[in-house]
A = this chain, B = another copy of it.
Amino acid sequence: MKRVLVTGAAGLIGRHTIEPLRARGYEVHATVRPGGRRPPPGSDVTLHESDLLAPHAASRLFERLRPSHLLHLAWVTEHGAYWHSAENLRWCAASLELVRTFFERGGRRALIAGSCAEYDWAYAHRHDRVGPLRPATLYGACKRALHLALERWAPDLVWVRLFHLYGPGESPRRLFPQIATALLRGQRASCRAANLVRDLLHAADVGDAIAAVLDAGVRGALDLGTGRGVELGAFALAIARACGRPDLLDRETVACDPSRPRVLVADTRRLREQVGWRPRFDIESGVAHAVAALSRAAGERR
């Protein structure tokens, strides 16, 4: 029996892992913070209230549930603040304990969310591709530190470095909902960094990829992305077209620098060759899907 415990299941990525995990035969359990967000209604998942930053919380849960698999996505994610918040240190410490107790209580395999912020963006700035692991932010450093400590110990661990994503469930302050919400209201919207090239996945594809990687048995670290960059300006234009208002979109460019490289694209060789995963959406179909979902949600709120 495959029983997976998902942390961060109410988040942008976590909510999109539940169905793909079910489809691969997992019994899905998820932690939710007391009083915190829940996965969308109708999700086929058993919820367990647990504050993962509280001592022994994880260990008690493992004792009771005995999950065979762990999918650890929870982390400080507050838009903007997460780059330099001391909460990163707390999540790094709590994650070490979470993964250690998972395996010590008989867990078989764990997948943990890493980040493209573990890479040296100054190198990416110079070479237009990801290079050495030299994080420049506290967030990137704590993710890198967690992997560094665990990789030599955990018996069966896969570390997934996430690149950029968009889709249903995003914080309204992120690029996609900002532009789409304005345009759907008939207001002007601006893409301020139209010249940046990023590797953008629809969140449903991220969720599916994560379930595929967990199930595939591949170990070590891998990048999760499409492997192809798209200019944010083109992404914004796809949003505007899906909203039917390309006339309301402004596009500006920014100066690139070592902390804001022009190109940041995943190296997807391992994902393609060892997991055999490919995205379902391209930018046009993904954006159209996400705009439809946003539009539907806005309609329901009215």
Contacts and interface: CB of A to CB of B under 8 A. Distances in A.
Interface of A: 55-56, 84, 86, 88-90, 92-94, 96-97, 100, 104, 135, 137-138, 141-142, 144-146, 148-153
Contacts of A100: 86, 89-90, 93
Contacts of A84: 153
Contacts of A92: 93, 96, 149
A51 to B, nearest CB: 12
Q: Which of A55, A92, A100 has the largest count of B CB atoms less than 10 A from its CB?
A: A92
13 contacts: A55-B56, A88-B149, A89-B100, A89-B149, A89-B150, A89-B153, A93-B93, A93-B96, A137-B152, A141-B151, A141-B152, A144-B145, A145-B148
A136 to B, nearest CB: 8
A111 to B, nearest CB: 18
Nearest to A137: B152
Contact of A149 (B97, B145, B153): B145
